[in-house]
Structure 1
């Protein structure tokens, strides 16, 4: 495990928990209006889900929540803060900003170059 002080570990645990709760709230808000749909409107609603709910956003949020859960587990098991690729310390500042980070900045940069996300729409 990376060499963090007790105060830093508390800060990281707090950051993980705050981000988790924030994502949970965002997902609930995104899905909240689905509770008001009657049975007769359900078929039409299901056909228009992409119009009503940003499913990609909710999917990303759920995946980030899973990463946060894993990071919380690693923190409690003292396996937190080391890069999964090179084994070096990720860095307190990076983890404070992005609590579920699994790679140091250098390895994350290399990973993003090797596996670029296809976020651009294609024609």
Structure 2
């Protein structure tokens, strides 16, 4: 973290914690909504195949949103762990500093831009 001042690290930590709290609240609300009686009625008391398709789609969309939010929560927790370990802002592949502009745009970044680009090309497929 040599390229980040203590104040910058504290700001990132606060930002990451705020986003984590917000996502936890959103996931909690989404799960409560999924248990909502009206939501269950839509999913279980359908009258035709079209209604059933809409209910299935709404259920799938809700689960996809929750899954995306849980994935982001995991990224936030990993970034907070890197702060605790003193490795936040350092690329996990090459150990070089991650550009500050990249961290501001994507605070959970684990890799510098060149390493991330290489990784994406490697796993991009045909």
Q: Report the TM-score range of the alignment, normalised by the length of the smaller protein.
A: 0.7 to 0.9
Q: Highest relative contact order (Cα 8 Å, sep 6+), 1 or 2?
A: 1
Return the index of the structure with the highest Cα Rg: 2
Q: Which segments of structure 1 move beyond 3 Å, counting only runs of 4 or more?
A: 40-43, 47-50
Do the aligned residues in 2 keep the contact of 1:82 with 1:90 (CA within 8 Å)?
yes
Q: What whole-Å deviation, never above 9, does each CA across 1:28-57 have from its counterpart, x for those lacking one?
A: 34333223228x859828x84542352222
CA-based RMSD: 2.7
Using structure 1 for the length normalisation, give the TM-score: 0.75
The gaps in structure 2 that reach 5 residues or longer are 46-51
Q: Which has the higher helix share?
A: 2
Using structure 2 for the length normalisation, give the TM-score: 0.73
The gaps in structure 1 that reach 5 residues or longer are 118-123
